[in-house]
Structure 1
Amino acid sequence: MKLEPALLQKQTLNLTMTQELQQAITILQYTAQELTAFLEMKEMENPLIQLESPIIRSVDPRYDRVRKRKVTNPENDQKKWLEQMADTNEGLADHLFSQLMMKALSGFQEKLVEQYIYNLDSNGYLTISVEEAATVCGTSTGEAEEILKLIQSLEPAGVAARSLQECLILQVERRGDAPPLAVRLLKDYFTEFAEKKWKFLSEQLSVSLKEIQQAADYITSLDPRPGTPFDNERPQYVVPDLILEIVDGKLELQLFESHLPAVQYQSDYYNEMSRVGDHQVKQYLNDKRQDYRWIVRSIEQRKQTLMKVGMAIIEEQQDFFLKGPQYLKPLTLRDVAEKIEMHESTVSRAIRGKYIQTPNGTHELKKFFSQALQSNASSDGEQASAAQAKSLIQSLIDQEDKRKPLSDQAIANKLKEEGLTLSRRTVAKYREQLRIPSSTKRKRYE
Structure 2
Amino acid sequence: MQRQEQKQVQQQQMTQDLVQRLPVLEADRLALIFRLARLARHNANIHLGSGGVEWIEDVASAFEEKLFTQIREGGGSEADKELRRKLVLLLDHRGLLPDTNEVLAERLQVDVAQIEQARQALLFLEPTGIGARTERECQYRHAIEHDDPRVVDVFDAIENGVSHQQMAIVLAVSEEELAGLERIVATLPKRPSLYEETSQIFPEVEVRYEDEKLVTTWLSPELDSTRVGNDREARWWMTSLAMRNETLREIWGVIESRQTEWLKGKLVLNPLTRRTVAHLIGKHESTVGRAIQGKFAKTENGIMEWRHFFVRSTSHGHSPFMIKRTLAELIQQETAPQSDQTLAHELARYGYQVTRRTVTNYREELGFGNSRERERQLWKG
TM-score of the two chains, using structure 1 as the length reference: 0.46
Determine if the alignment matches structure 1 residue 390 to structure 2 residue 331.
no
CA distance in 2: counterparts of 1:23 and 1:337, whole angstroms: 21
Code of the aligned partner of 2:318? A
Task: Give the stretch that moved more between structures: 12-21 or 411-420.
Answer: 12-21
Task: Choose from 193, 204, 209 the match for 1:246.
Answer: 209
CA distance in 2: counterparts of 1:234 and 1:439, whole angstroms: 42
Q: Unaligned regions of 5+ residues in structure 2, if any? A: 56-195
- The corresponding residue for 1:304 is 246
Q: Which whole-Å deviations, capped at 9, do the CAs of 1:387-416 have from their partners, x for residues lacking one?
A: 111111111111112xx3122222222112
Determine if the alignment matches structure 1 residue 49 to structure 2 residue 46.
yes
Equivalent position SS for 2:379: coil
Determine if the alignment matches structure 1 residue 293 to structure 2 residue 235.
yes
Equivalent position SS for 1:251: strand
TM-fit CA distance, 1:322: 2.9
Equivalent position SS for 1:18: helix
CA distance in 2: counterparts of 1:371 and 1:267, whole angstroms: 43
CA distance in 1: counterparts of 2:339 and 2:309, whole angstroms: 29
CA distance in 1: counterparts of 2:216 and 2:334, whole angstroms: 39
1:43-442 alignment runs, 5 A limit? 43=40, 46=43, 48-50=45-47, 55=54, 236-257=199-220, 260=221, 262=223, 289-322=231-264, 324-325=266-267, 327-375=268-316, 383-401=317-335, 404-442=336-374
Change (3 A) 1:235 1:439: farther
Q: Which whole-Å deviations, capped at 9, do the CAs of 1:337-357 have from their partners, x for residues lacking one?
A: 122222211211221111111
CA contact (8 A) 2:273 2:310 kept: yes
CA distance in 2: counterparts of 1:424 and 1:312, whole angstroms: 34
Q: Matched residue pairs, number? A: 230
The structure whose Rg is larger is 1
CA contact (8 A) 1:244 1:251 kept: yes
CA contact (8 A) 1:393 1:411 kept: yes
- The corresponding residue for 1:35 is 32
How much identity, in percent, do the aligned residues show? 31
TM-fit CA distance, 1:24: 2.2
More helix by share: 2
CA distance in 1: counterparts of 2:198 and 2:369, whole angstroms: 29
CA contact (8 A) 1:371 1:386 kept: yes
CA contact (8 A) 2:292 2:306 kept: yes
- The corresponding residue for 1:445 is 379
- The corresponding residue for 1:96 is none
Equivalent position SS for 1:445: helix
Change (3 A) 1:394 1:39: same
CA distance in 1: counterparts of 2:357 and 2:298, whole angstroms: 35
CA distance in 1: counterparts of 2:200 and 2:53, whole angstroms: 18
Aligned CA RMSD, in angstroms, stands at: 3.2
Code of the aligned partner of 1:371? R
Q: Unaligned regions of 5+ residues in structure 1, if any? A: 1-8, 57-232, 271-288, 376-382
Q: Which whole-Å deviations, capped at 9, do the CAs of 1:96-147 have from their partners, x for residues lacking one?
A: xxxxxxxxxxxxxxxxxxxxxxxxxxxxxxxxxxxxxxxxxxxxxxxxxxxx
CA distance in 2: counterparts of 1:384 and 1:391, whole angstroms: 12
Higher relative contact order (CA 8 A, sep 6+): 1
TM-score of the two chains, using structure 2 as the length reference: 0.53
- The corresponding residue for 2:16 is 19
